[in-house]
Amino acid sequence: MQYFLGATRNKMSEIKAYTADHIFTGENWLKDHVVIVENSNIKELIPSSAMPGDMVVEAFNDCIIAPAFIDLQIYGAYGKLLAVFPEADSLFKLNKYCRKGGAVYCLPAVATNTKDVFYKCIDAVKDYWGQKGGGILGLHIEGPWINPAKRGAHIEKQIHAPTKKEVEELLEYGKGVIKMITLAPEICSKEILEIILSHNIIISAGHSNATYKEAMEGFKNGIRAVTHIYNAMSPLQHREPGLVGAAFDHPSVMACIIPDGHHVDYAAIRIAKKIMGERLFAITDAVTETTEGIYLHKPAGDKYKASGILSGSALTMNKALQNLVDHAGIELGEALRMCSLYPARLMKLDNKLGKIEKGYSAKLLILDEKLHLVKLVS
């Protein structure tokens, strides 16, 4: 319902109010409280007893109100992989898929590819924004500056070490669009990292065979995250801790993980969570079926394969949340943070997303007792 309670500077102020059995603020659980939203921002979070008598509240019984999700790695939806169909329509479909799973923001990803494909995907994001499309934060480029030994489903012939000229040209063309780049720290020099960082782009280590020492040196040089930890990287071993061990050991580097039960065993998620705490967050790594391009993703149950190799998930962020709670045994509040506050923190958006707090953007989820999405408020 919509409520119009007075005018401010000749402009009507739209007020909405929501309550549920439980409200998770991103920090605490509350009962008997109401979220008051004005013009898409949280105006107040107040006890139900303090509500004005004339204000109507939309109530959700046996439900939870929580901050909406953010997915920082997803490749396509509804038959339109962005790399194959680098156009605004693919992003509109991607945004629809994300919202269906409770994610109001996402970072579309493009895996190792040609220069032409990367440039066209940058153009697609610009076109989408030009059409007033919402929810797309920018672009996540995963490869081609990775280690072929840990390529996973990435196409080997496109993988290479970057040149300064290549990096500078790509970043100049993608200025304001490219928000994250996944690369292998042992493949990229400190100079390359500095160029990327100068564009305020998040660097994430992934598809890497780095030693523990190489990974820690990369973190020292500005790498802030690790892409789909455990998958396609040097593992934790007792004589060589590798990239996994370095991520576990570093006090501030964050990492995403794919909680579908195929990419990572749930026990391994639980172990990583115990070690990394607030530094671990969830992504879907979702793809869609493709019959064109260099990545031919085919459904294989509730996952995807390309050329017989695990190549992506069929997750939504809502399903990721359910899996974290039901199968990895992670407490609900912490699982909610892994899907909202922590990705917002990596993107430096945690001053307006990931919490239900006065002044924050009113991006809210209504979940039932089984954690199914009832409504998305955005």
The predicted pLDDT at position 8 comes to 35
- Give burial (CB, 10 Å; 0-12/13-18/19+) of 222: middle
Q: Is the pLDDT of residue 3 over 70?
A: no
Tokens at 185, concatenated = 């720290």
Q: Is the pLDDT of residue 273 over 70?
A: yes
Q: Whole-angstrom Cα distance, residue 341 to residue 351?
A: 10
The predicted pLDDT at position 17 comes to 96
Packing angle, helices 115-130 and 164-173, rounded to 10: 20
When the pLDDT of each residue in the chain is averaged and rounded to a whole number, the result is: 95
pLDDT tens across 51-83, in order? 887 788 999 999 999 999 999 999 999 999 999
Backbone angles phi, psi at 325, to 5 degrees: -80, -50
pLDDT tens across 88-101, in order? 999 999 999 999 99
DSSP state of 133: -
| Residues with catalytic function | 285
Q: Is the pLDDT of residue 7 over 80?
A: no
Q: Whole-angstrom Cα distance, residue 307 to residue 287?
A: 14
The predicted pLDDT at position 252 comes to 98
Q: Whole-angstrom Cα distance, residue 267 to residue 318?
A: 20
Q: What is the mean pLDDT of residues 285-306?
A: 94
Please name which of 68, 10, 22, 49 lies closest in space to residue 377, comparing C-alpha atoms.
Answer: 68
Cα–Cα distance list, 89 to 35, 93, 210 (Å): 34, 6, 38
Domains of the chain, start order: 3-67+356-377 (2.30.40.10), 69-346 (3.20.20.140)
Q: Whole-angstrom Cα distance, residue 44 to residue 65?
A: 14
Q: Is the pLDDT of residue 11 over 60?
A: no
Q: Where are the alpha helices (DSSP H) in the chain?
A: 88-100, 115-130, 164-173, 190-197, 212-220, 242-249, 266-276, 317-326, 332-339, 341-346
The predicted pLDDT at position 12 comes to 55
pLDDT tens across 312-346, in order? 999 999 999 999 999 999 999 999 999 999 999 99
Please name which of 213, 219, 262 lies closest in space to residue 242, comparing C-alpha atoms.
Answer: 213
Q: What is the mean pLDDT of residues 339-360?
A: 98
Q: Is the pLDDT of residue 86 over 80?
A: yes
